[in-house]
Amino acid sequence: MTFQINHNLLHNVNNNITLQQWNELMEAVDTHISSADHPNDVLYRNSETNSKGRQRFFCYDNYDRVDSPGFDLNIEKDAVTGTLTVYNGSEQARAPITFEQGLQIARNFLNDEGSQMAEEIVCEWVMDDNPSIF
């Protein structure tokens, strides 16, 4: 399956989401994982706060398969929204995604559709000479 990416929008991606939207993404991941009958330990998901109060929430394939996507949400201290990115192991890079793109990937987190979508987004981001963002 090929996903159409509007190159002009990549630089203007609204990747700001709330913690509530992050939780919706994680619910979609959980629903997909349970319906696909994956092992209980397939996800590596956690959060951390640095000394400046920046919070990072993340969700990755615990088995480190190169084709599996990963999600990161970074929220600056006292902010209501944070930046959502998707990770691709073959590019070893992250790119911004919208909530809607995140939801589509989350609903297909460890299958070919979700992996392919994440890879195409990150590859296009990197090929347009954008840095991997975090």
Tell me the pLDDT tens digit for each residue of 33-81: 999 989 989 999 999 999 999 999 999 999 999 889 999 999 999 999 9
Residue 4 has pLDDT above 80, yes or no: no
Is 60 within the bounds of a domain?
Answer: yes
What's the domain range around 48? 13-127
Worst-scoring range by mean pLDDT, 4-18, 66-80, 100-114?
Answer: 4-18
* Percentage of the chain exceeding pLDDT 90: 79
- Residue 12: predicted pLDDT: 62
Is 4 within the bounds of a domain?
Answer: no
Is 47 within the bounds of a domain?
Answer: yes
- Residue 45: predicted pLDDT: 97
Is 65 within the bounds of a domain?
Answer: yes
DSSP string, the chain: ------HHHHTT---EEEHHHHHHHHHHHHHHHHHTT--TTSEEEEEEE-TTS-EEEEEEETT--TT-EEEEEEE-TT-SEEEEEEEETTTTEEEE--HHHHHHHHTTTTSHHHHHHHHHHHHHHHHTTPPP--
Is 5 within the bounds of a domain?
Answer: no
- Residue 11: predicted pLDDT: 52
Alpha-carbon span 32 to 111, nearest angstrom: 9
Is 118 within the bounds of a domain?
Answer: yes
Which comes out higher in pLDDT, residue 9 or 80?
80
- Residue 134: predicted pLDDT: 63
Is 79 within the bounds of a domain?
Answer: yes
Is 104 within the bounds of a domain?
Answer: yes
Q: What is the average pLDDT across 115-129?
A: 95
Number of domains in the chain: 1
